[in-house]
């Protein structure tokens, strides 16, 4: 099984029922095995998983604005701890946590709530960033 197939399999929990579909996927073996995948939903919420130079993360997006999954989860009251040491495990574990909380995520980013969600998640991201530097 190649890396792209492993990525697709790790995201099956989000794609198998049609909630999300994979829009783009890429992998470069050189450059530390960089990878990315972008998922779209009918609910105007997108997800992307990125691996760049050995680091990996997940973002939730809407209308071109992207937020780290940690901040979105903090906003909806979910604790997120990345304990994965490889990209495939990270995508699978994060996809499972997203699936468990998809109603709250879709509600946070629905038409009535999205403006408020965007501003509050940005505030959480700023607070987290300042906390990283003990400011």
Q: How confident is the model at residue 8 (pLDDT cuts 50, 70, 90)?
A: very high
Strand pairing of 34-41 and 46-52? antiparallel
Helices (H), 1-135: 3-10, 12-15, 30-33, 69-76, 87-100, 102-108, 114-132
First to last CA, the chain: 46
- Parent domain of 120: 3-132
pLDDT at 30 over 80: no
Give the count of domains, the chain: 1
Cα angle for residues 98, 90, 32 (degrees, 5° grid): 140
pLDDT at 102 over 90: yes
Task: Supply the pLDDT for residue 72.
Answer: 96
């Amino acid at each position: 099984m190649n890396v792209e197939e492993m990525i697709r399999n790790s995201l099956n929990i989000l794609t198998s029922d049609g909630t999300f579909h994979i829009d783009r996927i890429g992998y470069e073996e050189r450059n530390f095995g960089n990878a990315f995948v972008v998922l779209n939903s009918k609910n105007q919420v997108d997800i992307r998983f990125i691996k760049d130079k050995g680091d990996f993360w997940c973002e939730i997006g809407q209308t071109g604005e992207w937020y780290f999954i940690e901040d979105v989860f903090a906003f909806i009251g979910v604790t997120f701890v990345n304990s994965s040491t490889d990209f495939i495990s990270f995508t699978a574990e994060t996809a499972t946590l997203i699936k468990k909380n998809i109603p709250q995520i879709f509600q946070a980013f629905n038409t009535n709530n999205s403006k408020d969600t965007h501003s509050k998640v940005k505030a959480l991201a700023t607070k987290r960033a300042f906390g990283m530097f003990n400011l």
